[in-house]
Amino acid sequence: MKITIDQKQFERLIDYHQIKKRIRLIGIQLNVTYENQHPVFIGVLNGCFMFMADLMKQIHIACELSFVKLASYTGTERQARVKELIGLEMDLAGRDVVIVEDVVDSGNSLKHTLDIIRAQQPRSVAVCTLLLKPDALVHQFDNIAYVGFEIANDFVIGYGLDYNGAGRTFPDIYRETRG
């Protein structure tokens, strides 16, 4: 199936049923890892909202939720500078933190988020991302512990990810086609 947004063509990359299965498995891992803790899940908006909502339905341990809102894209272009639109409003000192990301590509926004969180001296920080683009990474991370899917360095939309505000509500994930 193909879709068009602003003269850009996109083709289906990952079906919603595959996404749901993978989220169920990640949820099991998180429940086991944090069984006797009380972690804080911090979602990075806007892109994580669908992933985080479905993930939290699989979490059956005591936990808390919070969000930050960052901007790192203009259209399909990644920006080197990350803008913080909504900051973290929670004390994380001594806490176990799980950052929930929609996609880690260059890693600029993840690095920004990690810097903010580490400044509060949490006990532990793990990253849970639906999509990881290993070929796009410009930073090294040792705490990306939960990955839904590794994908090529394609621009993707759907399941919370957008192109200029459009495409977030598609249940599947689509990649931009060339030509």
Contact 137, 12 (CB under 8 A): no
pLDDT at 87: 58
State pTM to two decimals. Answer: 0.89
- 105 catalytically annotated: yes
Q: Per the domain annotation, does 109 fall within a domain?
A: yes
Residues for the chain: how many in total?
179
Domain count within the chain: 1
- The set of residues, in sequence order, having a beta carbon less than 8 Å from that of 129 and lying 6+ positions away, is 100, 101, 102, 103, 104, 144, 146, 147, 148
The per-residue pLDDT for range 20-67, each reduced to its tens digit, is 999 999 999 999 999 999 999 999 988 899 999 999 999 999 999 999
Q: Per the domain annotation, does 15 fall within a domain?
A: yes
- The set of residues, in sequence order, having a beta carbon less than 8 Å from that of 66 and lying 6+ positions away, is 40, 41, 42, 43, 88, 89, 90
pLDDT at 85: 44
The per-residue pLDDT for range 53-105, each reduced to its tens digit, is 999 999 999 999 999 876 655 544 555 555 554 557 789 999 999 999 999 99
Q: Which domain holds residue 120?
A: 9-30+39-71+82-176
49-56 and 16-33 are packed helices; what angle lies between their axes, rounded to 10 degrees?
A: 60
Q: Per the domain annotation, does 2 fall within a domain?
A: no
Q: Which of 96, 102, 105, 162 is catalytic?
A: 105
Q: Is the pLDDT of residue 179 over 80?
A: no
Q: Per the domain annotation, does 3 fall within a domain?
A: no
